[in-house]
Amino acid sequence: MFLLGRSAVLRALAALWLVALCLCAAAKPPERKGRDTLVIDGVWKFLTDPENKGERQDWTQAAPAQAKEITVPGLWNTSAAPGYSGVAWYWREFEAPAGWKGQTVRLRFEAAADKARVWLNGLPLGEHTDGATPFEFNVTGTVRTGAKNTLAVRVEGDARTGAGLWQGVLLMAHDEAYIADAVAQGDALGHLNAAVTLRNTSAKTGDATLDGRVVAANAPTRDILRTHQELHVTPGRNLATLLLTLRGKRLQRWSPQTPFLYRLQLVFHQEADILDLLEVTFGFRQFDWKESAITLNGQPLQLAAIAPRPSQPIVIATTEDAVRTRDSLRRLKEKGTNLIYLEAPPPVLLRLADEEGLLVVEGPRQDAKAGEEMRELILRDRSHPCILAWNLGDVDTSTAKSARQLDSTRFLLVGPAAAPRLWPPGQNEPSSAALPPGFLPSP
């Protein structure tokens, strides 16, 4: 439970001592251990609903007898319902740990194509209308701890573009004050800028501490940098900024030749009581525009791009899927490719590109509302060092400038496919120079 801060305690002390005289000593709240996660991928129940009768027949409560098994993450059109477009339902039963009682619990979907409506234990949670971006619900008052829960999801999808719960589903339990998001971006000089969003769902105001620890991804037990920040947390959204500098031999820059990664480990706590934990992977690297050429860490970047266009979303659901994808990225590099265009890739694919040193131009899906989806993708993916540019497509200047405000460290590719313009990092207008050789994929 998020506790009142020291300043609030002092203000209330005069009133509390009278109450304390009349009461026995209150039991100390249980010590928090941080975030607990329950992944609910795997085998779900599934049934198509071509007549759209599911809600009328109480499918929000439980799966009907004729429902069959399906694997999540996955596309229904490549497994349980080949060629089917329309409405379909998913169900999953799970038990929330008894130890979650009294904690804040969130339910997160990494992506559901294309429109999803969600119920937990028969109660509606809400809906999401973009098929490639994450969404979540606070289910603290709905989930049953130490007991069985039933999750029902109604999805509208198109077999031609891929349909279903094609990315992961998980539950997170933590204190009512928690780390909602963190972005970590490092430059070539070793400067790390981390923006941390904290959310306090209680009505209390309190003092807390945010600790940051930087480690090398290949040596996560050895500290490289540490930081400590005292915070006064108010109800609602709170922001914290961590500014760190790594110098000397400990600084290893990320590049396609040396894809060195670091992790920022965050601990949000009140003394020994850990409210939440989060880890973000990032790299130290910097893109620039000098004399009509793209540079990485001050060196000219020779590019060779490709733009694969799979007809279906790329699903990476198993260890075997990840191994095959990693092998594919390595083969591309062996053939001389160092830049790949991707449309709304799953986060695990970007993680593999980070690790293998393959540059990425990321854009929205062709059939999506480009500006809205791109905004959510930037918010989700801007810590990945592999991303060279955001491919906005043919959007207006206002949309491009909004994207620039979300991330000033990368290039923006804006305009029709036949004549795109390149906006260099930190600039609010496109360059007049031609695109560098190899930046656009061959026809």
The first and second tokens of residue 80, run together, are 């349980």
Lowest mean pLDDT among 108-117, 171-180, 431-440: 431-440
pLDDT at residue 19 in the model: 33
Categorize the per-residue pLDDT at 3 as very low, low, confident or very high, splitting at 50, 70 and 90: low
Which percentage of the chain shows pLDDT scores above 70? 93
Secondary structure (3-state) at 249: helix
CA 3, CA 11: separation in Å to the nearest integer? 14
pLDDT at residue 1 in the model: 66
CA 186, CA 368: separation in Å to the nearest integer? 31
Beta bridge partners of 197: 181, 239
- Please check the confidence at residue 372 and state whether its pLDDT lies above 80: yes
Complete domains list, the chain, with CATH: 6-18+29-33+176-282 (2.60.40.10), 36-174 (2.60.120.260), 287-423 (3.20.20.80)
CA 224 to chain CA centroid, nearest Å? 25
pLDDT at residue 24 in the model: 32
Query: What value does the mean pLDDT take over residues 380-397?
Result: 95
109 burial type by CB count under 10 A (0-12 exposed, 13-18 middle, 19+ buried): buried
- Are 209 and 308 in contact, with CB atoms under 8 Å apart? no
Query: What value does the mean pLDDT take over residues 216-239?
Result: 95
Tell me the residue type at 184. Answer: A
What is the rounded average pLDDT for all residues in the chain?
92
Query: What value does the mean pLDDT take over residues 142-171?
Result: 97
pLDDT at residue 370 in the model: 75
- Please check the confidence at residue 152 and state whether its pLDDT lies above 80: yes
- Are 409 and 385 in contact, with CB atoms under 8 Å apart? no
Categorize the per-residue pLDDT at 4 as very low, low, confident or very high, splitting at 50, 70 and 90: low
CA 225 to chain CA centroid, nearest Å? 24
- Please check the confidence at residue 26 and state whether its pLDDT lies above 60: no
CA 341, CA 332: separation in Å to the nearest integer? 13
Categorize the per-residue pLDDT at 177 as very low, low, confident or very high, splitting at 50, 70 and 90: very high
CA 126 to chain CA centroid, nearest Å? 19
CA 296, CA 256: separation in Å to the nearest integer? 10
Query: What value does the mean pLDDT take over residues 375-404?
Result: 95
- Are 233 and 177 in contact, with CB atoms under 8 Å apart? yes
Give this prediction's pTM: 0.91
Which percentage of the chain shows pLDDT scores above 90? 86
Backbone angles phi and psi of 350, in degrees to 5 = -65, -35
- Please check the confidence at residue 21 and state whether its pLDDT lies above 50: no
- Please check the confidence at residue 99 and state whether its pLDDT lies above 90: yes
pLDDT at residue 215 in the model: 97
- Are 196 and 182 in contact, with CB atoms under 8 Å apart? yes
Angle of CA points 394, 398, 402, to nearest 5°:
100
Lowest mean pLDDT among 207-216, 239-248, 363-372, 427-436: 363-372
pLDDT at residue 151 in the model: 98
Secondary structure (3-state) at 182: strand
pLDDT at residue 17 in the model: 34
pLDDT at residue 31 in the model: 56
Cis peptide bond prior to 73, omega within 30° of 0:
yes
- Please check the confidence at residue 368 and state whether its pLDDT lies above 80: no
> DSSP for 126-139?
EEE--SSS-EEEE-
CA 53, CA 42: separation in Å to the nearest integer? 26
Bridge-based pairing of strands 305-306 and 339-343 is parallel
pLDDT at residue 432 in the model: 87
Beta bridge partners of 226: 213
- Please check the confidence at residue 9 and state whether its pLDDT lies above 60: no
- Tell which residue, 125, 111, 109, 106, has the closest CA to residue 172: 106
Query: What value does the mean pLDDT take over residues 273-279?
Result: 97
CA 381, CA 387: separation in Å to the nearest integer? 8
Query: What value does the mean pLDDT take over residues 256-279?
Result: 97
Residue that has been written with the tokens 């040596």 in this structure: 219
| Angle in degrees, 0-180, between the axes of helices 370-381 and 347-356, rounded to the nearest 10 | 50
CA 211, CA 227: separation in Å to the nearest integer? 6
CA 358, CA 332: separation in Å to the nearest integer? 9
CA 381, CA 345: separation in Å to the nearest integer? 10
Query: What value does the mean pLDDT take over residues 221-236?
Result: 95
CA 242, CA 210: separation in Å to the nearest integer? 9
Query: What value does the mean pLDDT take over residues 357-367?
Result: 93
Beta bridge partners of 424: none
